[in-house]
Amino acid sequence: MPKKRLDYLDMAKGVGIFFVVLGHIEYLKESTMRWIYSFHMPLFFMVGGILAYTMTRDGMPSLKESLKKRARGTLVPYVSFSLILLTMRVFELFFQPERVNSRELLRQLVDSLTGYGLHTLWFLPVYFLSGTLFFLLCRVFSGKRYGAYGMGVLVLALTVLALGVIDHFRLDQYPVLERELLWHVGMNLLIVLLRTLTVLPFFLIGWCYGRLEQWQTPRKRWGLLGVGVLCIVIGAVHSLQTSILDLHYLYIYPIHYLTAAVSCIGLLDLMRALPVSRGLCYLGRNSLVIMCTHGPMYVLYYISLGMFFVRKLIPMTDSVLYGCIAVAVCVAEVPIIWIFNRYFYYLLGRKT
If phi over 0 gives left and psi between -120 and 50 gives alpha, with beta otherwise, what is residue 138? Answer: alpha
Residue environment code for 312-341, b if the CB has 16+ CB neighbours within 10 A, otherwise e: eeeeeeeeebbebbbebbbebbeebbeebe
d(CA 330, CA 346) in angstroms, rounded, equals 22
d(CA 153, CA 334) in angstroms, rounded, equals 43
Answer yes or no: are the C-beta atoms of 178 and 19 closer than 8 Å: no
| pLDDT computed for residue 177 by the predictor | 66
Selection from 301, 278, 297 nearest residue 340 by Cα: 297
What's the DSSP call for residue 71?
A: I
Answer yes or no: are the C-beta atoms of 99 and 16 closer than 8 Å: no
| pLDDT computed for residue 2 by the predictor | 44
Could you report the per-residue pLDDT of 112-144, keeping only the tens digit for each? Answer: 999 999 999 999 999 999 999 999 999 888 878
Give the DSSP letter string of 144-168.
-TTHHHHHHHHHHHHHHHHHHHHHH
CB within 8 Å of 292: residues ≥ 6 apart:
77, 81, 120, 121
d(CA 306, CA 326) in angstroms, rounded, equals 12
| Cα three-residue angle 330-210-282, rounded to 5 degrees | 20
Selection from 179, 268, 257, 202 nearest residue 229 by Cα: 268
User: By CB neighbour count within 10 A (0-12 exposed, 13-18 middle, 19+ buried), where does 143 fall?
Assistant: exposed
Strand partners, 246: 251
For the chain, give every domain's residue range: 3-348
d(CA 57, CA 46) in angstroms, rounded, equals 16
- Stretches in the chain below the pLDDT threshold 50: 1-4
Residue 192: CB atoms within 10 Å: 17
Selection from 224, 232, 226 nearest residue 266 by Cα: 232
| pLDDT computed for residue 61 by the predictor | 75
| pLDDT computed for residue 219 by the predictor | 66
* Length of the chain measured in residues: 352
Segment holding 253, helix H or strand E:
none
| pLDDT computed for residue 183 by the predictor | 86
Output phi, psi for 246, to 5 deg: -140, 100
pTM: 0.94
d(CA 152, CA 204) in angstroms, rounded, equals 7
d(CA 345, CA 308) in angstroms, rounded, equals 34
As a 3-state breakdown, the chain gives helix, strand, coil percent values, each rounded to 5, of 80, 0, 20
